[in-house]
With several copies, the nearest count.
Chain A
Amino acid sequence: MPNVISTNRMTLAYDKGEKEIIRNATFRIKKGEFVFITGPSGSGKSTLLKSFYGQLVPKKGDLVVGGLDMTNVSKKNLQKLRTHLGIIFQDYKLINEWTVAKNIVLPLIIAGYNVDMQQTQAQRLLKHVKLEGKGDMYPLQLSGGEQQRVGVARALSKTPFLILADEPTGNLDEYSSNVIWDLMENACDQLGATVVVVTHRIPTIFNIPYRHFIIENGGIHEVH
């Protein structure tokens, strides 16, 4: 299987701080793999995901995502890559002036799908994340966990080749969490997506093989 993500001695840091959040990370994630990333609060998990979707350019070293050299990627290519990712943000990043349904199909809007397809897909996804009947509400009228599930639904709306999920169950009870984990398993197992999930709690029951990376003190190591 080809690499979907591969790094070589990659170092990540934010512009203003000299502090290196991630130092000399070298790893590979292959197509169709399921990866959990854990680590203490503030260790750099979200930062690592940011580098995967091109929001943060590595200070040093190499990073290749979906065949693109992320240290030197054109705007056009980055845009194209992003339309093929399914990103779940820790702070959801929903558009509050849009209805839930419209938020969910934003990737379809960007890809230029017609309205009919948008609506069909919206209804299907609302059912998947157990938000039937809430499509016409606005994000601020939803509970925290409901907003989080909207974020999940949006990430899955265009069957991405790579899913980057940042704490997708942080605000969910056990039942809802399991719904989300099932969706993730399915995306990986049935649809062949590569999935990278940041979480504080790896689910106790998980039905497909996975890898587990731990970030600590700037280093990344894999648990075997």
Chain B
Amino acid sequence: MKSIKHHLMFILPLLAILLGVESFMVFGRVTASYGENLKKAYTILVVTRKPMTPEAFRKIDNNIDRVETIKRRSIVEQIAQGMSNISTQEILKSLPQFYTVKLNRYLSNAQIDVIKQHLIRDPNVRRVETFGQAHNANYNLYMLIRAALWMFVGFMVFTSLFLVVKQMEIWQLEHRERMQVMEILGASAMLRSGVLFRIALTDALIAALTTIGVFAFLRYGWVARSEIDLLMRKQDLFFQYKDILILLGIALVIVLVSVVLVSRNVKEVRDV
């Protein structure tokens, strides 16, 4: 009973750390993938007097990626339908050229305004539409998510560090007497902290495996049934095999550092 409690007391904080790490990785991947989507979805509408080539656009601003010509015929036909006495052809002739322009990076509103100015300065360009409102909201949200992510990381690092420090303090207090007695009777450092190493290693393994289990379940169970389409489309972001190595690695490093520090610290107390 008491030994189970002891194990839990170390497994749970380790779990907290590892769950935090994995959450962070998942969250990072999802945000990155979302940023990619936003970039792809964003377009600037440009109206020009005469037809223009994509190269001509790119020369105006090098953030411009792809340029597509909007088929004007279908728009015009709709309008023409309602008016009996004009032909589609006639309207088409008087209409300017429409282009949708895609960017190669995800930019802030201010940066997009710069591009807009560049485009407008060209004498051939009649009008530039940047969908500022919608874009701005998206961009803000994106930045907010990233800010939250970093806040989360900061908090995680902070608390994790403390959990480890606390666990070390506890070990030190609990094992000080034993370690001092063993040292004075000639036990090697390895033997003195042997118990700690054993407890710590098994606990690290248990914590890492549990975390892996939780996220594997999230990926194959929860995400698949979740309502959030973005997540459903990006299941693979949720758990990747390389995460197993990262988590095991982190758990081991934490454990080894803790145990070594504890046994060194205890040793320094000379007068028992």
Contacts and interface: CB of A to CB of B under 8 A. Distances in A.
Contacts of B182: 95, 106, 110
A157 B181 CA distance: 15
A39 B177 CA distance: 29
A110 B186 contact: yes
A14 B271 contact: yes
A151 to B, nearest CB: 10
Counting chain B residues whose Cβ lies within 8 A of the other chain, the interface size class is 10 to 19
A86 to B, nearest CB: 10
A174 interface: no
Interface in A33-49: none
Interface stretch (A24-32, A75-83, A177-185): A75-83
B110 interface: no
Interface string A139-161: 01100000000000000000000
B188 interface: yes
A77 to B, nearest CB: 10
A93 interface: yes
A97 B185 contact: no
B186 A93 contact: no
Contacts of A79: 186-188
Given A55-B184, A79-B186, A93-B184, A140 B177 contact: no
A100 to B, nearest CB: 14
Nearest to A55: B184
A55 B269 CA distance: 11
Given A14-B271, A55-B271, A55-B272, A95 B181 contact: yes
Interface in A99-130: 106-107, 109-110
B5 interface: no
B177 A96 contact: yes
A82 B191 contact: no
A53 interface: yes
Contacts of B271: 14, 55-56, 140-141
A198 interface: no
Nearest to A155: B185
B270 interface: yes
Given A55-B271, A93-B272, A82 B185 contact: yes
Contacts of A141: 271
A53 B184 contact: yes
A97 B184 CA distance: 17
A87 interface: yes
A93 B191 contact: no
Nearest to A57: B270
Nearest to B188: A79
A110 B177 contact: no
Interface in B179-195: 180-182, 184-188, 191
Nearest to A86: B185
Given A96-B177, A140-B271, A110 B187 contact: yes
Interface string B68-103: 000000000000000000000000000000000000
A14 B270 CA distance: 11
Contacts of B186: 78-85, 107, 110
Contacts of A96: 177
A97 B270 CA distance: 16
Contacts of A98: 178
Contacts of B180: 93
A70 to B, nearest CB: 14
Given A79-B188, A82-B184, A110-B191, A95 B270 contact: no
B184 to A, nearest CB: 7
A85 B178 CA distance: 18
Interface of B: 177-178, 180-182, 184-188, 191, 270-272
User: Which A-B residue pairs are the 10 nearest by beta carbons?
Assistant: A82-B186, A83-B186, A110-B187, A79-B186, A95-B178, A93-B181, A95-B181, A110-B186, A82-B185, A107-B185
27 contacts: A53-B184, A55-B184, A55-B271, A55-B272, A79-B186, A79-B187, A79-B188, A82-B186, A83-B185, A84-B186, A85-B186, A87-B184, A93-B180, A93-B181, A93-B184, A94-B181, A95-B181, A95-B182, A96-B177, A97-B178, A98-B178, A106-B181, A106-B182, A107-B185, A109-B191, A110-B185, A110-B191
